[in-house]
Chains A and B, each alone.
Chain A
Amino acid sequence: MRGKEIYKIYAPNGAKWTDWVRPVLFVAIDTYNRKPIADWMERKAMFLKNYQQDTAIFVDLPGKESIELSIDLAYKGYRPIPIFNGTDEQPGSQATTDTYLIESCLINGSEKLKNIKLDNNANPAFLLDSYRTNRYRAKESIFDNSWDLYKQDIPSAEYFKQNGITKIIIVGDGIQRDLKKIFLKFQEKGIDIYLTDGYTFPQKVKLTKTIKERFEKEEI
């Protein structure tokens, strides 16, 4: 399957939330001729018993795990929305972030997803790679393909609310600084933020600014 066909499985015509599926890594599937991985692992979303009408999910695990977990979320009624936004490094150079594995896993994920019947209005499970912010360069010759999630990469708090979403569950080890920046605003606008490690029941979190953040100039 070509990147375009795989993309269409994640973003079928007429399905809600799919405008946010990022094409970058799907395009790379063709450019670099990626193949599915052999060690795909079935994962269970232990933290979630049932589909919740008022809830959206952000899976912030290592890319492969995010995609694997998203299939169980799809079985539970959530539509996986990959928003991976990194680019591949210059061939031959070393990179800060591994996009190859995610590109391959998207192929595996699409093969599972095409057999799952999802409602066109299904709530979203946005998929992230928790390694995205790794921008440590041991040498200057390393290619920095790390990336942050910005507020413009996802729907606004208003859009979530207009579509009945008042709860966001983040699946991850913690709330990374880019997510915190976005969800602080969401929280101010009345959306509750929950955190789970993927196994335990999600706990409501109250995001606050650090002293340093309080004194930072706010972006216009």
Chain B
Amino acid sequence: MKLIKIPEDKYYEYKIQAMFDCYKWDPQFCDNNTLSKHILILTKKENEEIIKLTKSLDKETRSAEEYLNKNIKIAKKLALPKKILEQIPNMQNYDKKQNIRLMRYDFHPSIDNQLVVTEVNSDCPGGFAESSLLPDLARKTIGMPELEYNSFGEKMVETINNKLNKKGTIMMVHCTCFSDDRQVMQYLGDRLEKEGYKIIYGAADHIQFKEKKAYCILENNQVNIDLIFRFTPLEWLIQMKPRRWDGYFNTLTLSCNHPISIYAQSKRFPLVWKDLEKAGIRMETWRKLLPETMEVKDLGLKKGFIYKPVYGRVGEKISIKEACKDDEYEKILQDVKKHPNQYLAQKRFQSKPLKSEDGKEYHICLGSYTIEGEHAGYYARMSLYPRIDSYAEDVPVLIEK
């Protein structure tokens, strides 16, 4: 892996195009520019290795979640929210052929030249346009058309076409108050509209279910839905009042993702691996790539571990001291003490930063998507400190031939 710098005199236009042509509507987070001035380059060999590992991880994860769905006793160890546990019986009609399964695995280079995987974004991974449009803009900007990339969007469109054959209505379910959610939906919605689908943007409670089939209740858009594309995380969905979300769990309407995604979304997922292995499910790729993970109460006096929230997103509340701002580190430790079950302890790995031309060192998180078990592109972010959180920069990924 290496970083190539976008020439300073080209960056302003690059950023403008990223915002207007590549759906990058959130280029600033507090004092940080979140659109990198660099491009991440993978060698052909690195790309092939990551694809191989990603597919292997995905196979294990999908076998695991199907098993957990049928074995509530073991699933309970994931400390799923009570409202979701109650829905497991309703998910028994889950048929993987009736749904589209999308995940993203977070890879990090470590100082011993190994790849480490820290988690899977199993429920609602984002970054679609950054993975699909930004690489093309980047290679044009630096004048290197020979570099390749895997477009998430094109792979997703192909998968949806295989299921819906370019006909029907797709509802892009998201939190309508957040423009950074809408940018993810809008990219895919616009792309799918070109294929001939009717696209509706709405919130989770704009869908109601009749005879287990979804229909939209938005004014002048009251139609049956053929695909629910959900970007509202399940932990938020179940907070919706009045309660109208049960239908998501047993709907016959094609979903991406179906709520079965919750099993691997829980960071406690590694805690059930022994049970899975006893049942004959192989978790060897996960075991090889994920740092040792345990319950907070089992940590004892062991050193070199960090705390991670069970349902954390974008690096929030991870206790990497040098990455914490103000009194954040102390607050996390206090919170862990108060709510140990809401956190996990994970062995800290030493991230290997990449040196850029300007001498700065950046830590990398390379998200590798899968759609229906196949690799579907990359979404990478980088940071000056070893925690990839909301302050991190989006960096397009290109691959050498």
Residue of A nearest to B20 (CB): A4
Residue of A nearest to B18 (CB): A23
| Given A19-B27, A24-B25, A147-B179, CB of A7 within 8 Å of CB of B16 | yes
Binds B, one of A115-123, A138-146, A169-177: A138-146
| Given A7-B19, A93-B220, CB of A86 within 8 Å of CB of B179 | yes
Q: Is B176 an interface residue (CB 8 A)?
A: yes
In chain B, positions 7-59 with a C-beta closer than 8 Å to chain A are 12, 16, 19-20, 24-25, 27-31, 33
Binds A, one of B92-100, B275-283, B327-335: B327-335
Contact check, A220 vs B331: say whether CB atoms are below 8 A apart: yes
Contact check, A143 vs B176: say whether CB atoms are below 8 A apart: yes
Among B30, B33, B217, chain A packs the most CB atoms within 10 A around the CB of B30
- Chain B contact-residue range equals 35 or more
Q: Is B317 an interface residue (CB 8 A)?
A: yes
In the complex, A152→B26 CA distance in Å?
10
Contact check, A135 vs B390: say whether CB atoms are below 8 A apart: no
Contact check, A220 vs B316: say whether CB atoms are below 8 A apart: yes
In the complex, A148→B332 CA distance in Å?
25
In the complex, A19→B27 CA distance in Å?
8
Contact of A27 among B25, B28, B178, B317 (CB under 8 A): B25
Contact check, B176 vs A145: say whether CB atoms are below 8 A apart: yes
Contact check, B20 vs A144: say whether CB atoms are below 8 A apart: no
**Complex contacts, B317 vs chain A, CB 8 Å:** 220
Contact of B25 among A19, A23, A135, A151 (CB under 8 A): A23
Contact check, B221 vs A90: say whether CB atoms are below 8 A apart: yes
Contact of B29 among A93, A140, A152 (CB under 8 A): A152
| Given A3-B20, A23-B19, A218-B331, CB of A144 within 8 Å of CB of B176 | yes
In chain B, positions 308-327 with a C-beta closer than 8 Å to chain A are 316-317
Contact check, B316 vs A93: say whether CB atoms are below 8 A apart: no
In the complex, A145→B174 CA distance in Å?
11
Q: Is A155 an interface residue (CB 8 A)?
A: yes
**Complex contacts, A90 vs chain B, CB 8 Å:** 200-202, 218, 221
**Complex contacts, A220 vs chain B, CB 8 Å:** 316-317, 328, 331-332, 335
**Complex contacts, A143 vs chain B, CB 8 Å:** 176, 202-203, 206, 218
Contact of A147 among B177, B202, B217, B332 (CB under 8 A): B177
| Given A143-B176, A144-B203, CB of A20 within 8 Å of CB of B219 | no
Contact of A23 among B20, B29, B201, B203 (CB under 8 A): B20
In the complex, A146→B33 CA distance in Å?
25
Query: Taking chain A's interface residues, is the majority helix, strand, or loop, or is none over half, making it mixed?
Result: loop
In the complex, A48→B200 CA distance in Å?
45
Q: Is A87 an interface residue (CB 8 A)?
A: yes
**Complex contacts, A24 vs chain B, CB 8 Å:** 25, 179, 182-183
Residue of B nearest to A19 (CB): B28
Interface on B for A, CB 8 Å cutoff?
12, 16, 19-20, 24-25, 27-31, 33, 176-179, 182-183, 200-203, 205-206, 217-221, 316-317, 328, 331-332, 335, 390
30 contacts between A and B (CB under 8 A): A3-B20, A4-B16, A7-B20, A19-B28, A23-B24, A24-B182, A27-B20, A27-B25, A87-B176, A90-B200, A90-B201, A90-B218, A91-B220, A92-B218, A93-B218, A93-B219, A93-B220, A94-B219, A135-B177, A140-B205, A143-B202, A143-B218, A145-B176, A145-B177, A146-B177, A151-B30, A156-B30, A156-B31, A158-B31, A220-B331
Interface on A for B, CB 8 Å cutoff?
3-4, 7-8, 13, 19-20, 22-24, 26-27, 30, 85-87, 89-94, 135, 140-148, 151-152, 154-156, 158-159, 218, 220
